[in-house]
Amino acid sequence: MTTDTLPVLAILGGTGDLGTGLARRWVQAGYRVIIGSRTEEKAQAAVTDLREVMAERGLADIAVDAMDNLAAASAADIVTLTVPFSHQSSTLELVKDALQGKILIDVTVPLVPPRVARVQLPPQGSAGQIAQELLGEDVHVVSAFQNVAAAHLQEGSGLDCDVLVCGNKKDARAEVIKLVEAAGMRGFHAGMINNAAAAEALTSVLITINKQYGCHAGITISGLDRTE
Amino acid sequence: MTTDTLPVLAILGGTGDLGTGLARRWVQAGYRVIIGSRTEEKAQAAVTDLREVMAERGLADIAVDAMDNLAAASAADIVTLTVPFSHQSSTLELVKDALQGKILIDVTVPLVPPRVARVQLPPQGSAGQIAQELLGEDVHVVSAFQNVAAAHLQEGSGLDCDVLVCGNKKDARAEVIKLVEAAGMRGFHAGMINNAAAAEALTSVLITINKQYGCHAGITISGLDRTE
């Protein structure tokens, strides 16, 4: 397995459930992953956990590092943001310069606690649009992974869940779809960054369904057979 | 087959693709359906078509009537609105008094032509919220069916598509879920009327996917197995 030709990935806020879930999937697929956190120490603890989980799965030789968020964003080719909505803007301000010319995968869902089961989109339309406006046009913001249960990502098994991939640049969306597939799911070109509102709103619907069924629900796209 | 205990259904704007699709499904399930349109003549033409399609499927004895929108709303127990977004408010103003105490199933998707593949939710949050605010608390607005392709509804075969059902009253949502099931699909309690934003936004994403695949896509909810 070679990582020479693969982009280096950073996950900012990579110590949370979703971040560690993505890290496990991407490391397993052979990517070099940098776990970013507010302090290098916190990131290092997550890396230690990650090495243990991977060793249990028989993968001792993985490419993973711990850094603070700014160092992680600087060292990576593609940067993923998995922080709570309340920390989205401050984290992006911190790493804005380091992101120029790169792809930012925004996984932020604009949940407003305590009513996380209620759709409450921000005035800008979506967290994806907030990120794109804050970072400027030279950062390719691609919104993805909002509807994937962290619990399922952390498992080693297959995922019955599709990923809506939104962003203003088709090439950047295509790069992210490769990472969706590397994580074991189908990714769909889902339109411009405005369309992130759909995936972000859907998360509150899935939380509503999870409460009723005691499950971790996701969505799949149906009816893909050509009809014309 | 008896219709005595079933609610009488009206479909306002029932001459369009989605309205005729729902009418076919509900008539086939034994419901009495009133097709509403701006004029009774237009509604009558749709009823004639409906009788022909049903006769081809071997159903000669169906309970279907044509009325103008106001008469249809007055005569029905549960009223479904399937008009373009640009006609939503004016149609609801017309029938507001006739809807008091009833369930309104709002199928409106706030598409803004020509960019229908781009999510452009209204300042109120969703078309569902617009309807609830306009009609007042004594009308139980339930949002549903935004992600079902009319072409698939019009077919007689099975539907691989789930329906998100949003509204402020659980009992009203449960009534609508019965109608979703009568139309051959699974319906999910998807939260308060605010959550209609998710299904409405998703329609633009599905339009985006339809363009790529030449299909009529929908969504299904996955991961419903209890995990806790």
d(CA B43, CA B37): 5
Closest B-chain CA to A123: B123
Residue A63 has a pLDDT of 96
Contact A191 B149 (CB under 8 A): no
Contact present, B112 and B43 (Cβ < 8 Å): no
In a domain, B2, yes or no: no
What residue has token string 């089961």?
A117
Q: Residue B221: inside a domain, yes or no?
A: no
Q: Phi and psi of A95, rounded to 5°?
A: -110, 5
Look at residue A2 in the predicted model and tell me its pLDDT. 47
Residue B104 near residue B114, CB atoms below 8 Å: no
Chain A residues inside the 8 Å CB shell of B206: 221
In a domain, B185, yes or no: yes
Residue of chain A whose alpha carbon sits nearest to that of B209? A190
Query: A223 in a domain, yes or no?
Result: no
Q: Would B225 be classed as within a structural domain?
A: no
Flag whether pLDDT at B38 surpasses 80: yes
Q: How far apart are CA A52 and CA A22, in angstroms?
A: 16
What is the pLDDT tens value at each position of chain A, 228 positions in all? 444 589 999 999 999 999 999 999 999 999 999 999 999 999 999 999 999 999 999 998 999 999 999 999 999 999 999 999 999 999 999 999 999 999 999 999 999 999 999 999 999 999 999 999 999 999 999 999 999 999 999 988 889 999 999 999 999 999 999 999 999 999 999 999 999 999 999 999 999 999 999 999 999 999 998 775
* pLDDT the model gives residue B228: 55
Q: What is the reported pLDDT for A5? A: 86
Confidence band of B158 (pLDDT split at 50, 70, 90):
confident
The whole-number pLDDT of residue A158 equals 80
Q: How far apart are CA A71 and CA A76, in angstroms?
A: 9
| Domain assignment of residue A28, given as a range | 9-213
Bond before B123 cis per omega within 30 degrees = no
Of A192, A224, A226, A228, which to mutate for an interface test with B (greatest number of B Cβ within 10 Å)? A224
Residues 6+ apart with CB under 8 A from A48: none
Structural domain contains residue B223: no
Complex prediction ipTM: 0.94
Question: Which among A74, A69, A67, A79 is positioned nearest to A31, based on CA atoms?
Answer: A79
Q: Does A189 touch chain B (CB under 8 A)?
A: yes
Residues 6+ apart with CB under 8 A from B61: none
Contact A214 B226 (CB under 8 A): yes
Write down the pLDDT at residue A4. 57
Q: Which residues contact B179 (CB under 8 A, 6 or more apart)?
A: B9, B26, B78, B105, B187
Q: Which of A203, A3, A162 lies closest to B206, judged by CA?
A: A162
**Minimal CA–CA distance to B46: which of B56, B31, B35?**
B35
Cβ distance A195 to B119 less than 8 Å, yes or no, reads yes
The total of structural domains in chain A comes to 1
Residue in A136, A153, A135 with CA at minimum distance from that of residue A144:
A153
Q: Is A174 on the interface with B (CB under 8 A)?
A: no
* Contacting residues for A143 by C-beta, under 8 A, at least 6 apart: A105, A106, A107, A126, A127, A128, A131, A164, A165, A166, A167, A193, A195, A196, A199, A200
Q: Which of residues 106-165 of A touch B (CB under 8 A)?
A: 117-121, 125-126, 149, 151-152, 160-161, 164
Q: Is residue B224 a part of any domain in this protein? A: no
Distance in angstroms (rounded) separating the CA atoms of residues B9 and A223? 28
- Residue B227 placed within a domain: no
A223 interface with B at CB cutoff 8 Å: yes
CATH number reported for the structural domain that contains residue A25 in this entry = 3.40.50.720
pLDDT at B184: 96
pLDDT of residue B109 exceeding 90: yes
Contact residues, chain B, for A117 at CB < 8 Å: 191
- Residues A9/A32, Cβ–Cβ less than 8 Å: yes
Determine how many CB atoms are found less than 10 A away from the CB of residue B3. Answer: 15
